[in-house]
Amino acid sequence: MYILIAPDKFRGSLEASEVCQSVAEGIRLAYPDAEIISVPLADGGEGTMRILTEQSKGKFVTTVVHDPLGRYIEAEYGLSGDGNTAFIEMAAASGLNLLKPEERNPLLTNTYGTGELILYAINSGVKKIILGIGGSATTEAGIGMASALGYKFLDENEKEVMANGENISSIKFIKTENVNPLLKSVEFIVACDVTNPLYGKSGAAYIYGPQKGADKSMVFQLDNGLKNIAKVASETFGEDISDNPGAGAAGGLGAGALWFLNAELREGVSIVMEQTNIAEHIQKADLVITGEGKVDEQTLQGKVVKGLADLCQKNNVPLAVVCGTLMISPEETQKAGITYAVSVLNRPMNLQQAETEAFSLVRDATFHLVRLFFNKSRN
């Protein structure tokens, strides 16, 4: 029997690789002769680039870049085993996690450090960059990133402006003469799971600005700035993409990636599944086991479990889900293409207990699940 283990992380308790280890132990207890392959997955958010790097048998590269407020920090990105692809998390250089709560101010922050990571990677010879844009501290449409790559942003007097959220409203010209020539030879794919436009009530400033430190007046100012940079960019590049789904992601870096990198925006989970060749593994499997901390309606809208369910249905392979909290009905489970779904909690317990005992809970739930499947398949 060939069993594929392909889980997401259990947030707060187990990384995806640890879930794989726990599930594998449960399988071996129930069915020692099973052939097991483990492929840790992610949904495009935090930790995705690490998983892609490890799955490609790659390495991590550390360099010095600027943080969102211009201070020097060390940041790392992943490099695939063949050296052709870089995996970059913008949060490593431009993330909200790099700032103290009192430092959060999207008028002052920028994505310059993300551009430096990209520059370092393309100068090393990569042909493709997969960029994760979750967790940003910025609302400046990626002009900081673009500045690091050689783009120039000028005001009405043709003086270069400092790249930050405060100054996007004063940009009148974008100059491309000094852009790094290697940029054109690199394919950019951006993991983007939000569909917000660049500006407006559903845009980057109004929806995400407050969590980055913006008050109401800042939100209004940032939104006007995003409208301005959209106008200037559409005049420069000949296309208005401000309403494209995902343009408002990461403070407008979604739009910036389209303008300045000629990138493709894609769902994070689809990128992960493509890079890990998960479809090929599923075709060979007798059973697929996945899991994440909570399975609810959102799980069925494009996360790891939904992606696997679609592939398993296509290949007529049963899918089992182990999770901390199961919040979908049997009807929803069946409709989603999930064969088995079970919470790992085996008795009443609080969250702290569940997180502390997560490894053994997942292992034991897997044991019972595989025993059930094995006995059913023999009959």
Please check the confidence at residue 122 and state whether its pLDDT lies above 80. Answer: yes
Q: Which amino acid is at 231?
A: K
What pLDDT score does 378 carry?
66
Q: Which domains does the chain have, with CATH numbers?
A: 2-40+286-374 (3.40.50.10350), 48-268 (3.90.1510.10)
Percent of the chain with pLDDT over 90: 90
Q: 147-168, pLDDT tens digit by residue?
A: 999 999 999 999 999 999 999 9
pTM over the 0.75 mark = yes
From the DSSP assignment, how many helices (H) and strands (E) are in the chain? Answer: 14, 13
Contacts of 78 (CB under 8 A, 6+ apart): 49, 50, 52, 53, 56, 58, 59, 60, 61, 86, 87, 88
Please check the confidence at residue 185 and state whether its pLDDT lies above 70. Answer: yes
What pLDDT score does 335 carry?
92
Give the lowest-confidence range in 55-69, 108-122, 159-173, 300-314: 300-314
- Alpha-carbon distance 371 to 319, whole Å? 15
What's the length of the chain?
379
Grade residue 379 by pLDDT with cuts at 50, 70 and 90. low
